Amino acid sequence: MSEKGRFGKASVRDADVAGRTVLVRADLNVPLADGAVGDDTRIRAALPTIELLRERGARIVLCSHLGRPKGRDPELSMAPVAARLGELLGTDVALAPGVVGAGVEAAARALEPGDVLLLENTRWEPGEKANDDALADGLAALADLYVNDAFGAAHRAHASTEGVAHRLPAYAGLLLEQEVRELTSVLDDPDRPLVVVLGGAKVTDKIGVIERFLEIADRILIGGAMCFSFFRAQGHATGDSLVEEDGIEPARRALELAAGSDCDLELPTDLVLGASFSADAGPVAADGVEVPDGMMGLDIGAATASAYADAIAAARTVFWNGPMGAFELPPFAAGTRAVAEAVAATDATTIVGGGDSGAALVEFGLAGEVSWLSTGGGASLELIEGKALPGVEALRDAGVEEES
Ligand code: ADP
Ligand code: MG
């Protein structure tokens, strides 16, 4: 039997939760607009685990971080999230008076089976990012069991994602479980050809992913600003393009590794240029990849976009992370759109890493056309690189019985 997609951690589906209090760490780090939830995608992604626990009669204490508060910033209270979550669940979601402490414990004790209490922003507590013992103890005091469903924060060893998991029987939530399964399916015996499309700003963010895929993939197609580190490594002129200087040496090494591997590492053959990073700065089509002074490369060219779309159409598995250009500026969105449309059109398995590539898919109305759109940007890249995710590692292994 294939080991494909195997996940060795205990699942919330197998936890005995009826009548017990369950602390759920979700990723409810949503954008806010005028004091209300903007895009509620992350709240919706957390619903299956919450609904399963409610159906099974658990008392639910839910928590997440929100933004980057400095202390107890009321602008980054979870109140709007509680309101939106309540609408989606069709029940009231109470907001706790803080993250831990006597008042929060009293609110948790008052829960009836099926009730949901949302803690305040975990990052209101300085102990969250420090993975402080006292905060982890305080969180553990609220519940009998812990469920981590916050895949997007699983690469962080924080008190609510890691510390608390050592203090309670700790299970994987449904979203976290599916994220790991979908992303690792690209690495474990993928249907071939496996074509990987990588773009975005910085090559150093993604060099680990490039190196991993040089061992696994059939083709890696590079776009975005990171191609300029490769072009500099090859001696091309990059003009005023965004070049990550620290990325040039890693890019050179990746080209060397590629030369000795079975995987093709492919770079753009033409570009779209503009005079500055702005929507009225071009676009100027360039046949080759030399960028003159006074100009910057802001998208892959039409020939490259069409070659990348053909490669995607010929693939059986596609992994895509990172836009092909400055897609926020309409004149420089064509390359990213061509890749998004090719990924949406194929019936191959298509896995898209989160962050800006996910935002591009949503903007083009194509988010529903891929096999899996990850909710985790950094976490999905670290998982692909082969790094251990602290929020996953700390969960109990599947098949281990709970001590009574
Ligand atoms: P992701 O979040 O999908 O991993 P990144 O955060 O690495 O992607 O990169 C996305 C950013 O890269 C976008 O804001 C986009 O404008 C920028 N970008 C892509 N190509 C270029 C380019 N040629 N010049 C300048 N910025 C670019
Ligand atoms: Mg990004």
Q: Please state the length of the chain.
A: 404
Phi, psi angles (nearest 5°) of residue 330: -50, -40
Query: Helical H runs in 124-263?
Result: 133-140, 174-187, 203-216, 227-233, 248-259
For residue 346, how far is its CA from the centre of ligand 1 (angstroms)?
Answer: 24
Query: Which amino acid makes up residue 319?
Result: F
Q: Which residues line ligand 1 (CB under 6 A)?
A: 200-201, 205, 224-225, 242, 297-298, 321-323, 325-326, 328, 355-357, 377
Quote the pLDDT of residue 402. 57
pTM value > 0.85: yes
Q: Which residues contact 25 (CB under 8 A, 6 or more apart)?
A: 63, 64, 146, 147, 148, 149, 150, 153, 160, 161, 164, 391
CB 28 within 8 A of CB 15: no
Terminal-residue alpha carbon distance, the chain: 34
Output the CA torsion 317→323→329→330 (10° steps).
-10
DSSP annotation of 2: -
**Mutate-to-test residue for ligand 1 from 196, 242, 356, highest number of ligand atoms within 8 A of CB:** 356
For residue 359, how far is its CA from the centre of ligand 2 (angstroms)?
Answer: 9
Q: Per-residue pLDDT tens, the chain, 404 aa: give them.
A: 334 456 899 999 999 999 999 999 999 999 999 999 998 999 999 999 999 999 999 999 999 999 999 999 999 999 999 999 999 999 999 999 999 999 999 999 999 999 999 999 999 999 999 999 999 999 999 999 999 999 999 999 999 999 999 999 999 999 999 999 999 999 998 999 999 999 999 999 999 999 999 999 999 999 999 999 999 999 999 999 999 999 999 999 999 999 999 999 999 999 999 999 999 887 999 999 999 999 999 999 999 999 999 999 999 999 999 999 999 999 999 999 999 999 999 999 999 997 899 889 999 999 999 999 999 989 999 999 999 999 999 999 998 765 54
CA distance linking residue 402 with residue 397, whole number of Å: 11
12-177 CATH pick, 3.40.50.1980, 3.40.50.1260, 3.40.640.10, 3.90.650.10: 3.40.50.1260
Taking the CA of 357 as reference, the closest ligand is: 1
Which position among 173, 297, 355, 358 bears the catalytic label?
A: 355
Active site residue 355: yes
CA distance linking residue 378 with residue 383, whole number of Å: 9
Domain boundaries, the chain: 12-177, 190-385
Quote the pLDDT of residue 393. 96
Q: Say which CATH class 190-385 falls into.
A: alpha beta
CA distance linking residue 373 with residue 352, whole number of Å: 5
In the chain, % helix, strand, coil (3-state, to 5) comes to 40, 15, 45
Query: Which amino acid makes up residue 389?
Result: L
For residue 219, how far is its CA from the centre of ligand 1 (angstroms)?
Answer: 21
Active site residue 42: yes
Q: How many CA atoms lie within 13 A of 142 on its CB side?
A: 36
Region of 330 on the Ramachandran plot (φ > 0 left; ψ -120 to 50 alpha; else beta): alpha
Quote the pLDDT of residue 355. 83
Please give the structure tokens belonging to residue 241.
Answer: 């393009």
Q: Which atom of ligand 1 is nearest to the CA of 360?
A: 3
Instruction: Give kind and range of the element (H or E) at residue 378.
Output: helix 378-385
For residue 236, how far is its CA from the centre of ligand 2 (angstroms)?
Answer: 26
Do 12-177 and 190-385 share a fold? yes
Quote the pLDDT of residue 322. 96
Residue 28: closest CA among 127, 135, 116: 116
Q: Which atom of ligand 1 is nearest to the CA of 224?
A: 20
**Residue entry with tokens 């985790």:** 376
Bond into 113 cis (ω within 30): no
Bond into 283 cis (ω within 30): yes
Q: Which residues surround ligand 2, an ion (CB under 5 A)?
A: 355-356
- Closest-CA residue, ligand 1 atom 7, reads 200
